[in-house]
């Protein structure tokens, strides 16, 4: 092997590594089902999706929109309850949150007035035992 073929071989190896890294990046797994859970990606909580994925309903009143978020989950004191609901915008930036008091709140239901904001919003529902669940709505 002469010096020229060694350099060409080295360049080909570098190119192969770069292609391999790009292929890995484009096939990276989603965070749904691992970092957070959804009805479609319940991960390790597959049997818990029905009681944890938040249900979002949008109500418009003139130019103002209110999101109502409901999690069909028990509020069994501090033993098992929904800690909070949180709203994120389309860029996953914080919009608002509502904390629940498991000794006073009978159901994890919250409302968020978005004013005239439009687009996609995400609702997060956080259970003290079964992690964070996310749903979305576009208004």
Total site size for Fe ion, rule CB under 5 A: 3
Under the criterion CB under 5 A, does residue 75 sit at the interface with Fe ion? Answer: no
Nearer to Fe ion, 124 or 127 (CB): 127
Nearest residue to Fe ion, by Cβ distance, number only: 127
Segment interacting with Fe ion, rule: CB under 5 A, options 29-37, 58-66, 107-115, 129-137: 129-137
- Dihedral over alpha carbons 35, 38, 43, 46 (to 10 degrees): 150
Burial pattern 94-113, b for ≥16 Cβ within 10 A else e, equals eeeebebebeeeeebebebe
The single residue among 36, 130, 135, 137 that binds Fe ion, judged by CB under 5 A, is 130
The single residue among 127, 134, 135, 137 that binds Fe ion, judged by CB under 5 A, is 127
Closest distance to Fe ion from the beta carbon of 109 (Å): 16
Question: What are the backbone dihedrals phi and psi of residue 89, each rounded to the nearest 5 degrees, phi first?
Answer: -85, -175
Segment interacting with Fe ion, rule: CB under 5 A, options 56-64, 87-95, 116-124, 125-133: 125-133
Residues linked to residue 133 through DSSP beta bridges, in sequence order? 37, 125
**Assigned token pair, 92:** 């996953």
Contact set with Fe ion (CB under 5 A): 127, 129-130
């Amino acid at each position: 092997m002469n010096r020229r073929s060694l350099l060409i071989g080295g360049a080909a190896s570098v190119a192969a590594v770069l292609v391999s890294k790009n292929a890995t990046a484009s096939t990276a797994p989603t965070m749904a089902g691992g970092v957070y859970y959804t009805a479609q990606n319940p991960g390790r909580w597959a049997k818990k999706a029905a009681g944890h994925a938040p249900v979002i309903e949008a109500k418009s009143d003139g130019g103002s929109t209110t999101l109502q978020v409901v999690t069909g989950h028990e509020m069994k004191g501090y033993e098992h309850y929904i800690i909070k609901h949180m709203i994120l915008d389309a860029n996953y930036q914080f919009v608002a949150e509502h904390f629940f008091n498991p000794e006073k709140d009978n159901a994890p239901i919250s409302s968020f007035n978005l004013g005239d904001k439009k687009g996609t919003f995400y609702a997060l529902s956080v259970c003290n035992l079964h992690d964070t669940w996310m749903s979305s709505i576009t208004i």
